[in-house]
Amino acid sequence: MGPVTAISTALVKTFSYSGRASRSEYWWYFLLYTLACLICGFIDAAMIISAIERQGQDALATLSVFDFKSIYVSIALIPPMISLTVRRLHDAGFSGFWALIYVVPLGALALMVLHMLPSKNTTTVRKAPAVQPKTNLPGKPLQADAHKRAMQGYALLFDKDKRPCAETQAARKAEMADYYRRQVLKSAPSA
């Protein structure tokens, strides 16, 4: 999932706490959230510094909570982050209540580890299958030795630059002569 798709999906599913969120969806939105918080933090720090330079230490008393840009970014970006956290935990095979570990000291680090875990494709927390198995696929059924035959094809690619030995060349010539006799000469009219 690309960054634009991941961020738009996270914003659209702001109030959806059921379902799953892939690792890419979570981490792209987390990157946007982190960058927005850093930028707003620098803007707020610059505002505080300029206010102190103009009015001295008393300038901090004149600032209200709503003068800080970080408040607006938090109001806008935290609700999607909460739902995304719950859905990411579902995807990793955990209950969404594990998100409450944020209130425990160092809980954010433990939760970050849980967000890094790969998806569980077996069942979700609610025992629903994560991915529905596809049945009645069109085409030929896959044979049991298909993997073995594919690997033999790769082995031929690795040996393509090797010069065949005389025995291999003789066996190939005999095979081609036999094929020619069976397939080409059988169709020729007998005189």
Domain borders along the chain are 3-116
Average pLDDT over residues 129-157: 62
Tell me, what's the pLDDT at 83? 92
Q: Strand ranges (DSSP E) for 21-90?
A: none
How many beta carbons lie within 10 A of that of residue 61, not counting itself? 7
Q: The dihedral of CA 165, 171, 172, 174: what is its sign?
A: positive
> In this model, does residue 185 exceed pLDDT 90?
no
> In this model, does residue 136 exceed pLDDT 70?
no
Tell me, what's the pLDDT at 147? 62
pLDDT in tens, 65-124: 888 888 899 889 999 999 999 999 888 888 888 889 888 888 889 888 888 888 877 655
- Based on the number of CB atoms within 10 Å of its own CB, is 180 exposed (0-12), middle (13-18) or buried (19 or more)? exposed
Tell me, what's the pLDDT at 35? 94
pLDDT in tens, 82-98: 999 999 988 888 888 88
> In this model, does residue 174 exceed pLDDT 90?
yes
Q: Which residues pair with 123 in a beta bridge?
A: 129
User: How far lies 159's CA from each of 162, 165, 166, 172, 174, in Å?
Assistant: 5, 12, 16, 16, 21
User: Of 157, 131, 184, 153, nearest to 22 (Cα)?
Assistant: 131
**69-91 and 107-116 helices, crossing angle to 10°:** 50
Q: Which residues pair with 129 in a beta bridge?
A: 123
pLDDT in tens, 21-63: 888 888 999 999 999 999 999 999 998 888 888 888 787 888 8
On whether the CB atoms of residues 83 and 17 are closer than 8 A, the answer is: yes
